[in-house]
Structure 1
Amino acid sequence: MQKVVTFGEIMLRLATPDYKRFIQSDHLTATFGGGEANVAVSLANYGIPVEFVTRLPENDIAAWCISDLRKMNVGTQHILHGGERVGIYFLETGAVARPSKVVYDRAHSSIAEVEKGMFNWKEILKDASWFHWTGITPALSQGAADACLEAIRTANELGVTVSCDLNYRKNLWKYGKKASEIMPELVKGCDIILGNEEDAEKVFGIKPEGFEVEHTSGEVDAAEFESVCQQLMQKFPRAKKVIITLRGSINANHNTWGGCLYSDKLYQSRRYDITHIVDRVGGGDSFMGGLIYGLLTYTGDDQKALDFAVAASCLKHTIYGDFNLVTVKEVETLMKGDGSGRVVR
């Protein structure tokens, strides 16, 4: 089985219960999450050997975090120890017309203070077939961006497939550089590029004509994004596949969900109508985990890989927390059209 390595920040997640607002809550529910760690957990659930690489302090919170990852069968042997703190994010889950809110408390976290040369990427990637990163990591600091670029270039030298989720977060780019200044050099080394309906526009100024993400009303036409995929492949000729997730937001509890993949042609998934969202945080990461599994497992069948990714991430919307705790069998059952939710006895 082929091994995957992911690199980024994992945070302590503190969430209000039962749709309460921050100002109403007298307690918060603690779990862990972060883009690349979420992808790693998905892959581990599908039976793919996976290592998550980050930097954490030597304290009890970090030990708790590492223990949590190990329970999920995620490898942690290349996690560096150093720095002073684990990053935190606070989540207030929205309902109907009230959107969810995220407040970050991750400044000066251990991974944000990483420096070039701290990770031995040749050792970390020597037996890997795939390396995954997201646009969140280079947004943390120049040092994190430098470490990410080191990993990508090493992966390219070793012939390791590199994937990225553009994952633009405007509230993170605060160290004096814009995403448009840092991301192109990183994405240049990628074989697989994933984005949503606004990432390509926010980072590279690439967008479909006549489309406004704020006014989807639950309807997003995959065909509109073929030109976005083509423009990304022209800008980054190493890329073999470009994938766009398509979320139509009717309200905070009701979304439509699908995706498209462009390689030799445009592949489109079915569209899921998710009417009672439990937790949408980590939805894109669950898509990426499903996509990597699909591309590794259904070799040469881009349609099936896309369908697996969309079904996996559809199921994630029913699961509390960042991690997508589903099995291959559950995803393939939904792929075959069984979305009844009947009790399995």
Structure 2
Amino acid sequence: MKNLNSNLIPFLPDDVAVNCLARVPRSQHTTLSLVSKPFRLLLSSPLFFTARSLLHSTQHLLYLSLRTRATTLQWFTLQNNNHLLPLPPLPSPAIGSAYAVIGHIIYVIGGSVNDIPSRHVWLLDCRFNRWLQGPSMRVCREFAAAGVIDGKIYVIGGCVPDNWARSANWAEVFDPSTDRWESVPSPPEIREKWMHASAVVDDKVYAMADRGGVSLDPRNGAWESVGSELDLGWRGRACVVNGILYCYDYLGKIKGFDVKQGLWKELKGLDKGLPRFLCGATMADVGGKLVVVWECQGNEKGKEMDIWCAEIDVNKNKDGELWGEVCWLNNVLSVPKGSSIVHCSSVSL
């Protein structure tokens, strides 16, 4: 007779047990792991993550990278909306990397190490919080633009097109199914070096350079110059939520750009919810909500600063105005003064 204790849940077949456990919210996984060793092993297995994906039980989590005064790059994930959990450090931290997310993997692309641009690509497997080295790009890059369309990563700029290799590979595409980088043809007149921002809007990759910007439509290979309205209004980090590009301006306002209308609009309804000025603000689309992370003065001695985070429900009303409502707002971490937010991403697990 089969020992009942060999089952994940007594009297239940293991496939049924996995189906049940995969529906438990991630916020309860720590408690669930204390039930038994088989539970603990299941929660960290590829089978479990596949089951959650098939059952549409995945949840969107925020991942954040911070740079300290010692130029150390630290990574965190937000747990239960109230604290940041530290992750293993990136094996080779760089300055000016580009970032992209496909599935459960965050890609950290290029950047400079000791002032030398790199071709290296690092992968954070968010299922197991483990770093892996990915296939290197064709050319070295720092401060490049990156975006994901149809499951492929497009990287633009970040290199001086002063020889054949860098000109031919000024833009590249990575296909995870083949694990290879390929060059993307680009006209010479658009090849700027530095890209200060990027986003994917309407299935186009937008890359903002020191002078103007460009967009790439990978489906037909068309490049276009970015209009002056978008160029003048886009300053700093941005993200796209429900087709609207959001960024934070120097006047203390979050605003959104409607690509179809070609207009910037203030995100209204936040006067009583957020501070007037959000230092170092960066943003991410986390499950259809606009999540904003910013730096704030810490304790009275001035030796620390706080990292604050807010989740905002954003909508467009019948008059086309953008409105936001703060769902929650918390101080999620204290760090040494002089630290800075580098990037934040949303991953579905």
- Report TM bin, short chain: 0.3 to 0.5
More helix by share: 1
More strand by share: 2
